[in-house]
Amino acid sequence: MRKKDKNIVVGMSGGVDSSVAAYLLKDQGYKITGLFMKNWQSEPGEVCTSEIDFEDASKVCDELDIQLHKANFSDEYWERVFTFFLSEHAKGRTPNPDILCNREIKFKAFIDYAKQIGATHIATGHYASLTKEKDDVYLSRSKDINKDQTYFLHEVKSKDLKNCIFPLSKINKTEVRNIASDIGLHISTKKDSVGICFVGERNLKNFLSRFIELTPGEIIDNEGNILGEHHGSALYTIGQRQGLNIGGVKNKSELPWYVYKKDINLNTVYVCQGEDNDLLLNTGLELDSMKFINQHSKFRSNQIMCKVQVRHRQKAVDCSLDLSTSTVRFNEKIRAIAPGQSAVFYDQSDKICIGGGIISKAIN
């Protein structure tokens, strides 16, 4: 397809990445339209970050001379993403809403809306790459490994990636900010968004307490001693150090304390000392299920030798994946694996993302 025949709708978040992605495509001669997604309905008295982001996106589109549409997907976000986020917390697990948000909103609701306004392709500011082979497309790591976001994209199917463009796939974050500065975009120094996808940075205790019941309970060490009280076991995750409020404990060393286990039924949080405590180290994990990006993946077999990554920016380690039991065994131990998070798999070159699944259990 010729450039003039491509109508690319770019997801504009009001941040530097999507803004530079739009600029790069327009600079290459493509027909560009922007689309801002409103996905969270703020309550009275809340700071409405989406309105701030929309103002930034509008100004960027004015600076780039491109049209901007605005779509409200707050109902879809609540039904497809946020209710699952809450239910997982209520079960004592640690969900990753960014992954579901990509699958259900940015690469489903967004694509559907973009097609309605005439898009032949969509583009986003994700740090990821696409590798085309014959009639299929594979999700691959970006050049900037530190910013690589394939971990968050592993539930997006190849059919939804075929008409997608990642303009930042071959440049790093420093270059992106330099480009934004060089062309005079007002958001060139704007901080990256953090916190819950589309909801923003929140105090988790105050935020979750609006939706699920949080009951204080005991914090117990690995010898059965009660060390303190937590604010609700749903707030804590495996490997967590901050927010435990455990001071100096008599007859214990000065090593920091970490969560190594939770019991949601007893409402108890268990802690141990030392970052490399054996109680925090895992030799494998079990998955709820395995989802492949490519329907007919060339990597699919009963036993897969590959690499696994259990959190964003963590080093991927060699492993064996047994699809018959949804069990993963590591070649080296991985620290602090949290049920509810995702295990994402890559080929042995650590470049192509195969897919992944939600962790149901860590094996120690």
61 is catalytic: no
197 is catalytic: yes
CA distance 68 to 10: 9
CA distance 280 to 4: 55
Q: How far is CA 61 from CA 19, 23, 187, 201, in A?
A: 8, 9, 12, 25
Backbone angles phi, psi at 63, to 5 degrees: -65, -35
Number of other CB atoms surrounding residue 113 within 10 Å: 18
Catalytic annotation, pick one of 197, 306, 319, 353:
197
Burial of residue 238, with CB atoms counted within 10 A of its CB: 0-12 exposed, 13-18 middle, 19 or more buried: buried
Largest CA distance in the chain: 73
Catalytic annotation, pick one of 61, 101, 306, 319:
101
Q: In sequence order, what are the beta bridge partners of 129?
A: 140
Residues tagged active-site: 101, 197
